[in-house]
Structure 1
């Protein structure tokens, strides 16, 4: 699987009054890392929208475990990969380490979404293109198998 690794410092603005990362900030980190993963695979959001006529890949579910707090000044490493593809949705797995310790793990379910053909206020899930599946799949050239 293609895995993107992103290293970043914890900044003062990421922290709550107790001096630890305010939990929604992790979600912003993970969203950024998902975009970086897609860009590394050759699908930055602007070209993805143009090439596939989609809006993007909005979040429809997320699950996380906060194991160890991170504080201002810590340097963290976030590993991001697609864990599973389904027809129109996929799970992105994020592991955030503080040093060698796993601090946060999360799985975010996203939908490959385009404009709804009959209602401009809605989105509609679309099948994830095979080229995207292959690019985000295994490093040995085999794509992630979709679940049917």
Structure 2
């Protein structure tokens, strides 16, 4: 496995449903933030800078598979460990493991792509091959 990063999340009251359990979309939001955190920790500029300098808008999701093991609630701190577990020509698989201390809360594997804006219709995006320099920073 390549490089890994960790990101802490402090759960707030507003992150929870009426039963006091973290509402599942919050995990997806946190894992998306952990994905960007991973790249920035390896020296990759934030997406808004890369779009300006290289046209790369970001790494949107193609697939997301999550397995929830235990619940969490407000006042707790979670740690998200992120790594890239597989590189392919145009996609990569990123894994997130969410822990509360020694307890596994959730784990997820995402399939993502690098994209640029379409030249003919700037509202649309299109996939590009994984940039080799970014891959090298992350391996």
TM over 0.5: yes
TM-score (norm 1): 0.87
How far did residue 92 of structure 1 move? 1.1
1:114-136 CA-partner distances (Å, limit 9, x unpaired): 11223333211001111100111
Q: Which runs of 4+ in 1 moved over 3 A?
A: none
Q: Name the CA distance, whole Å, in 2 between partners of 1:10 and 1:126.
A: 36
Stretches of structure 2 lacking an aligned partner (at least 5 in a row): none
Q: Which residue of 2 aligns with 1:142?
A: none
How far did residue 109 of structure 1 move? 1.2
What's the RMSD between the two structures over aligned residues?
1.2
Q: Name the CA distance, whole Å, in 1 between partners of 2:54 and 2:89.
A: 15
Q: Give the count of matched residue pairs.
A: 137
Q: Which has the higher strand share?
A: 2
Q: Which residue of 2 aligns with 1:32?
A: 33
CA contact (8 A) 1:92 1:107 kept: yes
How far did residue 24 of structure 1 move? 0.2
Question: Where do residues 4-15 of structure 1 align in structure 2 (5 Å cutoff)?
Answer: 4-15=5-16
TM-score (norm 2): 0.93
Stretches of structure 1 lacking an aligned partner (at least 5 in a row): 138-148
Q: Which residue of 1 aligns with 2:21?
A: 20
Q: Which residue of 2 aligns with 1:143?
A: none
Query: What secondary structure is seen at the aligned counterpart in 1 of 2:119?
Result: coil
